A and B are shown apart, each in its own frame.
Chain A
Amino acid sequence: MNLLTKRSETTRLEAAIHASESEYALEAKNLSISYGDFKAVKNLNMGFERKKVTALIGPSGCGKSTALRAFNRMNELIGGVHTEGEVLFHGVNIYDPDVDAVQVRRWIGMVFQKPNPFSKSIYENIAWGARINGYRGDFDELVENSLKQVALWDEVKDKLKDSAYALSGGQQQRLCIARAVALKPEILLMDEPTSALDPISTAKIESLLDELKKRYTIIIVTHNMQQAGRVSDKTGFLLLGDLVEYTETKTLFLNPIDERTENYISGRFG
């Protein structure tokens, strides 16, 4: 009740934190994305539930990464991308011309395919994002907490001043996740976060997702169907820019409705 009044007091582009009338943390409505004449995503309608892991799967070129990058307006950094439709976050369409893209990205974090830490120390990698966003707390504590959330603290606590490049690939990727969670975002977008990692590092990151989803809504793009099966609660299957099927992960893998989904998950094309 209290929250609702607060909501009504806010303007069109404001939203009360942790409160929304929608059941979704993020919702794509009629989202279409094209590069020149090529339509990469066609009329996507998809809601992402709070504090769940949603996986987007499909063969390469199906538009799953493009869709993911549309959720925090990273697509517009590449020239020639045209986006139509809406992406609602706290009831605000992030593609509204009056919306500040920087502010959107601050609340919807992203982890990339290849680990890409900054050429700074481990400590600075985490503190930097917080600093530019006006963090008011204790930075040592923030760094420690963030590293603990990704189970990296014990491995690096004695070398926080070392370059992030000194870490292994898997550690670097966990550092990148820590860097994102240090901002306390609401949503974490992960673009094939384990495709550049070895099986053991992959397993560690998959395990993390279970714990991270208690605090964040996670959307993960993966080309690995088994991974989607292991980590996600819901899965969407995209093909040639269309969302073919979107349901509970178990259902999708065990009882797919669409024939194309079945062909894909049984490995008949890839």
Chain B
Amino acid sequence: MTVDAGHSAASRTDFSSNLAGRHSTSARWRLVFMASTILAITFLGALILTIIDDAFGYVLMVDAVDQKSLEQDGVPLLEMDANGLRAVIEENLSNRRQRALNRELPFEERSTADLLEIVLAEIVKPEVVATYTLYESLFNKRAIVDNASTAWPDSTLVFRSWVSMRFLSSSQTARPMTTGVLTAVKGTLLTIAITLLFAFPVGIAAAIWLEEYATDNKLNRFIQVNIYNLAGVPSIIYGMLGLAVFVRVLEPLTSGSAFGVTASGEVANGRTVLSAGLTLAILILPVIIINAQEALRAISGSLRHSSLALGATKWQTIWHHVLPASFDRILTGTVLAVSRAIGETAPLVVVGASTFLTQDPSGVFSKFTTLPIQIYQWTSRPQPEFRHIAAAAIVVLLALMLSLNAFAIVTRNRLRKQKRFG
């Protein structure tokens, strides 16, 4: 009873004097933390909105020759088949030019898209005078129309979805109005197929070695540390490796000349789909290994023990029990890695992606381009049309990645269900 009541009361007020202030500081900072989170999400929103904004919108075009005058039996130009287009060319193009084009490739052998390209480029000669974003098209339509009718009275204003079936199914051309992503999509799919074919088995095997077999010795520890290090190496370095090894040293193999294959007369110099796929495989290998290791580590020891106690060998245990049990996780990890590979650009530029392909890639020894490469090239062009094309290609790329992830989730869930009831 040495502390008197007065003293303790005084100290209590001392302590509580700034409590309200402390609470309001706490609340303010809470808002700051929340704001930074919201800001991060806003970025994602802005990114997506920008892409959508650029992928649709009005295009103001002036044609040298009115497209309506070219209609055949009421069929508009853009919906014509090859025969109709050939007729248009015959009617409107000078004989000399026709002969020149025919010498390049006979009209009978040209595809519809190719013919349309000729009609647009040689006869209609439309010129894009202005493009508008989706936002402008929706909320500033009046200004756009006014501006169009005063500045370019002959122009046509069309609402254009830059992502369209035509865009998806057309090969690469030099003009933004007619170009498509088919070449790039084919290139991406072929490249990724090579990547997966190599990286998936090798990655899983390496993970099995490290998790199930490797004893704790210097070599295995070194391999493990090395894999972590490789996962942090910038992707462009892998591009340099691919350039020096796959494109140059292994050129006979990667160009196909060692197998007597040349991609329809083109000289690819080792700058092929195969080189690109292998480069990406080496790039994502550490990621696949690390993910698969985690998947294997998640399997309980009791599963392994119960199998071994039955006189199963190590490999029988892994093949029959450990791998099936961890496969859903391995799949998810692999899809994450492959998603990364699909979006990679820098290493492929270094390995030697083609800037312009006259032919779609047809096999592993073809020259290649991929979706990200196309996006890079279109984005770096100053003309506004290319910016819309880039946005459209981004939509395709993101859709591809999204569907891959969706496929993985569905498959994983099906596997999990099987595990439970099978």
User: In the complex the two chains form, is A114's CB within 8 Å of B302's CB?
Assistant: yes
A264 within 8 Å of B by Cβ? no
Which residue of the partner chain A has the closest CB to B312? Answer: A132
- Whether the pair B422, A77 counts as a contact (CB closer than 8 A) is no
Given A120-B422, A128-B320: A105 and B308 interface contact (C-beta under 8 Å): yes
B310 and A132 contacting across the interface, CB-CB below 8 Å: yes
> Roughly how many angstroms separate A112 CA and B308 CA in the complex, as a whole number?
12
Closest residue on chain A to residue B309 by CB atoms: A110
Measured in the bound complex, the distance between the Cα atoms of B306 and A106 in whole Å is: 12
What A residues does B304 contact at CB under 8 A?
77
Tell me the bound Cα distance from A119 to B419 in angstroms.
Answer: 6
Q: CB of B305 within 8 A of chain A?
A: yes
B312 near A116 (CB under 8 angstroms)? no
Q: How many interface residues does chain B have, given as a range?
A: 20 to 34
Q: Is the CB of B302 within 8 A of A118?
A: no
Q: Does A165 contact B (CB under 8 A)?
A: yes
**B303, A109: Cβ atoms under 8 Å?**
no
Contact-residue bracket for chain A: 20 to 34
- Report B308 CB to chain A, min CB distance, Å: 6
B422 close to A102 (CB less than 8 A): no
Interface residue? A47 (CB, 8 A): no
Is A74 close to B, CB under 8 A?
Answer: yes
**Interface positions of A from 56 to 103, Cβ below 8 Å from B:** 72, 74, 77-79, 102-103
A116 touches B303 (CB 8 A): yes
**Contacting residues of chain B (169-208) with chain A, CB-CB under 8 angstroms:** none
A105 contacts B422, CB within 8 Å?
no
- Say yes or no: A180 contacts B422, CB within 8 Å: no
**Distance A183 CA – B320 CA, assembled complex (angstroms):** 18
Bound together, the chains give a CA A119 to CA B312 distance in angstroms of: 16
Q: Is A149 an interface residue (CB 8 A)?
A: no
User: CB of B324 within 8 A of chain A?
Assistant: yes
Q: In the complex, A193→B305 CA distance in Å?
A: 15
Interface of B is mostly: helix
Instruction: Tell me how far the C-beta of B46 lies from the nearest C-beta in chain A, rounded to whole angstroms.
Output: 45
Structural contact, B305 and A163, CB atoms closer than 8 A: no
CA separation between A163 and B310, bound complex, in Å?
19
Q: Is B419 in contact with A176, judged by CB distance below 8 angstroms? A: no
Hey, which chain A residues are within 8 Å of B303, CB to CB? 116, 118
Cα distance A214–B420 in the bound complex, in angstroms: 36
Type the 1/0 row for B295-318, where 1 means its CB is closer than 8 Å to any CB of A.
000000111111111111100100
Taking a contact as CB atoms under 8 Å apart, the answer to whether A102 and B309 are in contact is no
Q: Among the interface residues B302, B305, B310, B325, which one has the most CB atoms of the partner chain A within 10 A?
A: B310
A106 to B308, Cβ gap below 8 A? no
Is residue A179 within 8 Å, beta carbon to beta carbon, of the partner chain?
yes
Q: Given the complex of chains A and B, what is the CA–CA distance between A162 and B313 in angstroms? A: 26
- A121 within 8 Å of B (CB atoms): yes
CA distance A163 to B416 in the complex (A): 13
State in angstroms the CA–CA spacing of A120 and B311 once bound together. 18
Asked if A72 and B309 make an inter-chain contact with CB atoms under 8 angstroms apart, the answer reads yes
CA of A133 to CA of B309, assembled, Å: 12
Question: Is A256 on the interface with B (CB-CB < 8 A)?
Answer: no
7 contacts between A and B (CB under 8 A): A77-B305, A105-B309, A105-B310, A112-B302, A114-B302, A116-B302, A132-B311
| Interface residues, chain A, with chain B CB atoms under 8 Å away | 72, 74, 77-79, 102-103, 105-107, 109-110, 112, 114, 116-121, 128-129, 132-133, 162-163, 165-166, 176, 179-180, 183
Given contacts A77-B304, A119-B324, A132-B316, 16 further A-B contacts (CB under 8 A): A72-B309, A105-B311, A106-B310, A107-B311, A109-B309, A110-B309, A114-B302, A118-B307, A118-B321, A119-B325, A128-B320, A132-B311, A132-B320, A162-B421, A163-B422, A180-B310
